Amino acid sequence: MGEPTDEEVVQTAAEAAEGLVFSRYRQSDVTDLDVTVTFEEGVLEVDVYLNAPDDTHDPERVADDAALAARSAVDDLFAD
């Protein structure tokens, strides 16, 4: 199997980020979620904006964790 396509990388990263956010928050509790992923010339950029209540989790921390999960999922994609 060859290298993943840019589209596969972006899709994998976005799904991982969203999956992490929704593992910590119910979808109905999230006011706004924006996951922006770019993969150009071998460089992955992930930006996660999350607007959610901070009574159970720190939204900023969850957004950071989501970006890390996205990067990890892409690392796994290239490792396969």
Q: Which pLDDT does position 1 carry in this prediction?
A: 59
Sign of CA dihedral 67, 68, 73, 76: positive
Residue 36: give its domain's CATH number. Answer: 3.30.300.100
**Total domains, the chain:** 1
Say if 29 falls within a structural domain.
yes
Distances from the Cα of 16 to the Cαs of 55, 57, 74, in angstroms?
Answer: 23, 18, 9
Q: How far apart are CA 58 and CA 61, in angstroms?
A: 5
Q: Are 46 and 17 in contact (CB under 8 A)?
A: yes
Say if 1 falls within a structural domain.
no
Q: Which domain holds residue 18?
A: 6-79
Kindly report, residue by residue over 2-12, the tens digit of the pLDDT: 799 999 999 99
Q: Are 44 and 37 in contact (CB under 8 A)?
A: yes
Say if 67 falls within a structural domain.
yes
Say if 70 falls within a structural domain.
yes
Closest C-alpha among 17, 1, 74, 2 to residue 42: 74
Say if 33 falls within a structural domain.
yes
Kindly report, residue by residue over 9-38, the tens digit of the pLDDT: 999 999 999 999 999 999 999 999 999 999
